[in-house]
Amino acid sequence: MLRVLWLFAALDSVLLSDTGMLFPRESSSREVKELNGLWVFRADRSPNRNQGFERAWYKSRLAETGPVIDMPVPASYNDITQDPTLRDFIGWVWYERELTVPARWITDEDIRVVLRVGSAHYYSVVWVNGVKVTEHEGGHLPFEAEIGTLLRKEPTIPCRITIAVNNTLTLHTLPPGSIQYMNDSTRYPDGFFVQNTNFDFYNYAGIHRPVLLYTTPKAYLDDITVVTDFMDNTGLVRYSVSVQGTASATVKVTLMDTGGHCVASSNEPSGVLKVADVNLWWPYLMHENPGYLYSLEVRLMAADERSTYEDVYALPVGIRTVNVTSTQFLINNKPFYFHGVNKHEDADVRTRVKLNLPSFLLGVEFEYSALQKYLYP
Ligand SMILES: *[C@@H]1O[C@H](CO)[C@@H](O)[C@H](O)[C@H]1NC(C)=O
Ligand SMILES: *[C@@H]1O[C@H](CO)[C@@H](O)[C@H](O)[C@H]1NC(C)=O
Ligand SMILES: *[C@@H]1O[C@H](CO)[C@@H](O)[C@H](O)[C@H]1NC(C)=O
């Protein structure tokens, strides 16, 4: 029950954010550069855990500030190494990655370069080349910052990304926790504290989901909202496209079936697409062709006195309805039987890395119909 409440809290904060943060996907106008792999890492073991800020570790290479180790991203740092003090560490840890971005991203001022962190537990501060670009509270959601403008200031140096992450929980964090100081100096060293939690799992910490850079044109598709429905054989795709970086843009949307044929299109930024003889999205075991996805291809065209811009984004769309009655969960008005499994972050088939096993996801082996991809964190 508690987990369900947290889910709603997480959804709330998504709705409150004022930009869309479309999931990064490559297209003819967008490039993605993944930064997963080994990063440079240092835990701030100073008594108040604040030395990194006092001595501005973000201003130079982390290795120049003191001893560092390699740390995989994404991963929970608690699970890496055999060091119990790192497993149980509370406070700020520092990550760093240096890379060269394609020169074109820098020279072409009409390109936005966005740094995106998939999620980091629990409080994060991010610098690029020693300049703070964003700060984020909360462990489960992505956050991002435009860094192209900053990179253009010093085009000849490599791009150095520094991320400080603090796993300290308070009564206001999700999940909540509290710090307890052990003041009995006969039993504990000075300043000794423990983090108390009231939940049934380990407080895994670190950069938990992929970090990447992606590009968009200066005028870009910021968000695409889709709500689907159907009447008899006709699918209804209500959509709304929001655009940033231009005052006047033309938007064209095309809905393609899996064969790549256009089944509906429009030149309006919002509206309803009607799909004749619709292939509904069904869960595994409810249809012989489950998981049918159309592709909503959205194309933005804009121009200013300097240049013209085109941004393209393809969103997979399943046409289905979900209704909850007092006793049933309905998909496409038919009762859905939840036969679900969880994947732990530390399971053999790790779900926090890109998982390309459709048969696994469809539950073919175990005949399950629901999968929780991230069971804490
Ligand atoms: C970071 O960690 C320290 C040590 O636990 C704590 O005192 C401080 O409140 C934390 N700061 C944030 C922003 O979480
Ligand atoms: C222990 O010390 C901390 C700070 O040093 C203080 O905030 C806390 O109230 C003390 N706790 C007890 C039980 O004396
Ligand atoms: C289920 O929800 C859709 C909208 O999402 C609505 O059109 C439909 O009538 C609902 N069906 C039932 C059985 O309530």
Would you state the pLDDT for residue 18?
Answer: 64
Choice between 201 and 347, residue whose per-residue pLDDT is larger: 201
- Asked whether the predicted pLDDT for residue 62 surpasses 80, the reply is yes
125 lines ligand 1 (CB under 6 A): no
- Asked whether the predicted pLDDT for residue 30 surpasses 70, the reply is yes
- Closest atom of ligand 1 to CA, residue 49: 4
Segment 65-79, tens digit of pLDDT? 999 999 999 999 998
Q: What stretches of 81-233 show up as alpha helix (H) in DSSP?
A: 84-87, 103-107, 148-153
What's the CA-to-centroid distance between 172 and ligand 2, angstroms?
20
Of 99-113, 126-140, 177-191, 248-262, the poorest mean pLDDT is in 177-191
Environment class of 285 (CB within 10 Å of its CB; exposed 0-12, middle 13-18, buried 19+): middle
Percent of the chain clearing pLDDT 70 (strictly above): 87
168 lines ligand 1 (CB under 6 A): yes
What's the CA-to-centroid distance between 191 and ligand 2, angstroms?
9
CB neighbour list of residue 108: distance below 8 Å, 6 or more residues apart:
none
- Mean pLDDT for 121-142 is 96
User: Residue with the nearest Cα to atom 4 of ligand 2?
Assistant: 181
Q: What confidence tier does 347 reach under pLDDT thresholds 50, 70, 90?
A: low
- Asked whether the predicted pLDDT for residue 50 surpasses 60, the reply is yes
What's the CA-to-centroid distance between 185 and ligand 2, angstroms?
12
- Asked whether the predicted pLDDT for residue 341 surpasses 80, the reply is no
What's the CA-to-centroid distance between 290 and ligand 3, angstroms?
20
92 lines ligand 1 (CB under 6 A): yes
Residues with CB under 6 A from ligand 3: 229, 321, 323, 333
What's the CA-to-centroid distance between 167 and ligand 1, angstroms?
8
Segment 264-311, tens digit of pLDDT? 999 999 999 999 999 999 998 899 999 999 999 999 999 988 899 999
What's the CA-to-centroid distance between 51 and ligand 2, angstroms?
22
Cβ atoms of residues 375 and 343 within 8 Å = yes
Would you state the pLDDT for residue 202?
Answer: 86
- Asked whether the predicted pLDDT for residue 6 surpasses 60, the reply is no
User: Residue with the nearest Cα to atom 6 of ligand 2?
Assistant: 181
- Asked whether the predicted pLDDT for residue 361 surpasses 80, the reply is no
Question: Tokens standing for 30?
Answer: 């967008």
User: Residue with the nearest Cα to atom 9 of ligand 2?
Assistant: 181
Would you state the pLDDT for residue 105?
Answer: 96
- Closest atom of ligand 2 to CA, residue 183: 1
Q: Are strands 340-344 and 370-375 parallel, antiparallel or unpaired?
A: parallel
3-state secondary structure of 313: strand
Would you state the pLDDT for residue 349?
Answer: 54
Percent of the chain clearing pLDDT 90 (strictly above): 75
Which bound ligand lies closest to the C-alpha atom of 184?
A: 2
H-helix or E-strand containing 115?
A: strand 111-121
What's the CA-to-centroid distance between 28 and ligand 3, angstroms?
37
Q: What confidence tier does 192 reach under pLDDT thresholds 50, 70, 90?
A: confident
281 lines ligand 1 (CB under 6 A): no
- Residue in 46, 93, 126, 168 to alter for ligand 1 test, most ligand atoms within 8 A of Cβ: 168
- Distance (Å, rounded) from C-alpha 216 to C-alpha 237? 25
Choice between 17 and 170, residue whose per-residue pLDDT is larger: 170
- Residue in 230, 237, 323, 332 to alter for ligand 3 test, most ligand atoms within 8 A of Cβ: 323
Planar angle of CA 281, 23, 118, nearest 5 degrees = 120
Label residues 26-60 b or e (16+ Cβ within 10 Å = b).
ebebbbeeebbeebbbbbbeeeebeebeeeebbee
Cβ atoms of residues 203 and 195 within 8 Å = yes
Mean per-residue pLDDT over the chain, rounded: 89
Q: What confidence tier does 106 reach under pLDDT thresholds 50, 70, 90?
A: very high
Q: Give the domains, in start order, of the chain with CATH numbers.
A: 31-216 (2.60.120.260), 219-323 (2.60.40.10), 338-375 (no CATH)
Would you state the pLDDT for residue 323?
Answer: 97
Q: What confidence tier does 91 reach under pLDDT thresholds 50, 70, 90?
A: very high
- Asked whether the predicted pLDDT for residue 1 surpasses 50, the reply is no
52 lines ligand 1 (CB under 6 A): no
- Asked whether the predicted pLDDT for residue 364 surpasses 90, the reply is no
